[in-house]
Amino acid sequence: MAWLSLTVKADADIAERLSEALLELGALSVDVHDADADTPDEQAIFGEPGEPTDSVWSHNLISALLEETADAAAILAAAAESCGLASIPEYQVSRVEDNDWVRLTQSQFDPIRISQRLWIVPTWHVPVDDSAINIVLDPGLAFGTGSHPTTRLCLRWLDENIIGGETVLDYGCGSGILAIAAMKLGAGSALGIDVDAQAVQSSGDNALANQVVATFSLPEDTLPTFDVVVANILTNPLKMLAPLLAGTARQGGRIVLSGVLAEQAEDVMKVYGQWFDLNPVIVEDGWACISGTRK
């Protein structure tokens, strides 16, 4: 058996209505993604303390899964008409072959070597090096599985700089991978904060799976100061959160920032340079890692 994948471009004012219309017209599933992902225009739609939460991006890609025999063009035309659109949006249709989706997904995620002693190991794999620090983590809904350069950059920084006993704040914790890694590397305590309740739950589950004691929660009104503050988010949220994150770093404490495209690093450094003595930027695959010490 096979299916059809219908991909449609849609701006923010129509994305939700068009998605709902496609479902009503027989789509088996519908996903919405940022059409500007991995570009300087990538947009964070999650909320931060004191900020509203957007539901869609400015530019969206709607992916609808249809039966193999469905008339994708006719379905899209009907959906567009029901939404009051004057014309059919730009779209593409491709065939999706039947596969063992679990095996296919698992085959795409092998153990990831972060450093000489640090590995990320999916649960269905045997650790490559039993003597290494192995973080057991499966790809899931929360961001941060070690496969993205920004996560690897932060993990390497932690591996090189955690010497033992530090208090660590992981702001925007996603899967909890950075807080978990910090604890496995010898940190004294770790707190993970995320605006997504599902990420908070996932982080807690991952910590248990790794036999690590760490705390995860939604944003709090007040936070103590920490020896290390790490935030792997995106450029705009990082700039907005600068006063908050600077306030959580003790004097002499260190900060690590990623989720920043290399060409955006200078803008972020200008903001954080008010509070931190910053180190040279480290870049991997077009993504930057910014670190510094609290003045």
pLDDT mean across residues, the chain:
86
Q: pLDDT of 196-227, one tens digit each?
A: 888 899 899 999 999 999 999 999 888 999 99
Domains and CATH numbers, the chain: 2-98 (3.30.70.120), 106-294 (3.40.50.150)
Lowest mean pLDDT among 14-28, 38-52, 83-97, 214-228: 38-52
Residue 103's pLDDT band (boundaries 50, 70, 90)?
low
Q: What is the pTM of this model?
A: 0.68
DSSP string, the chain: -EEEEEEEEEEHHHHHHHHHHHHHTT-SEEEEEETTTTSTT----S--TTS---SS-SEEEEEEEEETT--HHHHHHHHHHHTT-SSPPPEEEEEEE---HHHHHHHT---EE-SSSEEEE-TTS--S-TTSEEEE----SSS-SS-SHHHHHHHHHHHHH--SS-EEEEET-TTSHHHHHHHHTT-SEEEEE-S-HHHHHHHHHHHHHTT---EEES--S----EEEEEEES-HHHHHHTHHHHHHHEEEEEEEEEEEEEGGGHHHHHHHHTTTEEEPPPEEETTEEEEEEEE-
